[in-house]
Amino acid sequence: MRSDRLLVPLLLTILWFTSGCTQPSETALVSSSRLTPYLPSPSSTAPIAVNTSTPAVILNPTATPIIHIIQPDELVSSIALRYGVTLAQIQAANPGLDLNFPGENTPLIIPAPQSTPGALAQPTPAPLAIINPTCYSVADGAALCLALATNANSFPVSYITGEFIVQTDDEQIVRSFSALLDTLPAGASLPIYAYFPAPFPYPFSVSVVIHSAFGNTDHTDPGLTAIIDQVDISSDGIGARVTGKITSTTSLPSRIALVAAAYSADDPAGIRRIELTPTSGITEAPFTIWIYSAGPALDRVEVFTEPF
């Protein structure tokens, strides 16, 4: 009886061991070559969010301004024409820069053209009378050409630029000029000039073309007055020493331009500009300026002043 009880567990153990060691069938080792994709059941599929907002607007890149380095004898008006922009656009891109006297090697910001350069219109110059352009021989065969620009308008004219053109039988020589005053008052006249290096041709004819002269109806009188106290002309008439004072209805600006214009029998014979930096808070400042003739003997000198 006891042996029967021992025999039953032994048989069960043998059966369990032999069934666990049975070799798997060969088909169990062969995987199917067909892949069944996983498809979630409809009840478990999460809703897909759809963006119904307005699409973002993609802006075209803004054109990068150009930096132009001003070369000797180069006018801002000529630069504006080259790049197809107006002088007003250049002034807006370079606030505080005196376009008449930017200086050599000055970096000038050229804004991107706002229209096709060929269709961009430059303002028509205000009418100026150009009187008696004449050229005088100076040192080493060079020449200085002068003319008188007269503003007969009822308003001031600003940024006067242009070219002197010397014509011979064989060639044409052009030199640019920029008036030494930023703004020419109504009814006033001012010599303009251009220097022609040697060799200067003979015989010749000379003419003047105005490129820019803006009627400045919004100009505000700065309240500056240049008063001549004394003019001492040299015995040969070639030079003159001018003394006087600049006065203001308020404090003088920190920087003042003083321009002296010399004449011989009412024809322009010379012009010079100096810059003054008066003491802050004063209303009157003295000046002394020397001016020289390009050729004929001097008999009269005028002075102009303006802030810059």
> Model confidence over 42-56: pLDDT tens digits?
444 444 444 445 555
Instruction: Please check whether residue 87 lies inside any domain of the structure.
Output: yes
Closest CA to 239 of 224, 260, 259, 216: 260
Strand spans (E) along 138-238: 143-150, 157-167, 172-178, 183-184, 189-196, 205-215, 224-233
Domain of residue 269: give its range: 224-307
Q: Tell me 62's DSSP state.
A: P
The larger pLDDT score, comparing residue 17 to residue 70, is at: 70
Find the CATH number of the domain harbouring 103. 3.10.350.10
Report yes or no on 155 lying in a domain: yes
pTM value is: 0.70
The CA distance from 244 to 231, in Å, is 9
Cβ 245 vs Cβ 224: under 8 Å? no
pLDDT in tens, 94-141: 988 888 788 889 999 998 876 544 444 566 788 999 999 999 999 889
Number of independent structural domains in the chain: 3
Q: Residue 148, class by beta-carbon neighbours within 10 Å (0-12 exposed, 13-18 middle, 19+ buried)?
A: buried
Cβ-contact 288, 276 below 8 angstroms? no
242 and 284 fall within a common domain: yes
146 and 192 in one domain? yes
Domain contains 287: yes
Whether 242 is covered by a domain: the verdict is: yes
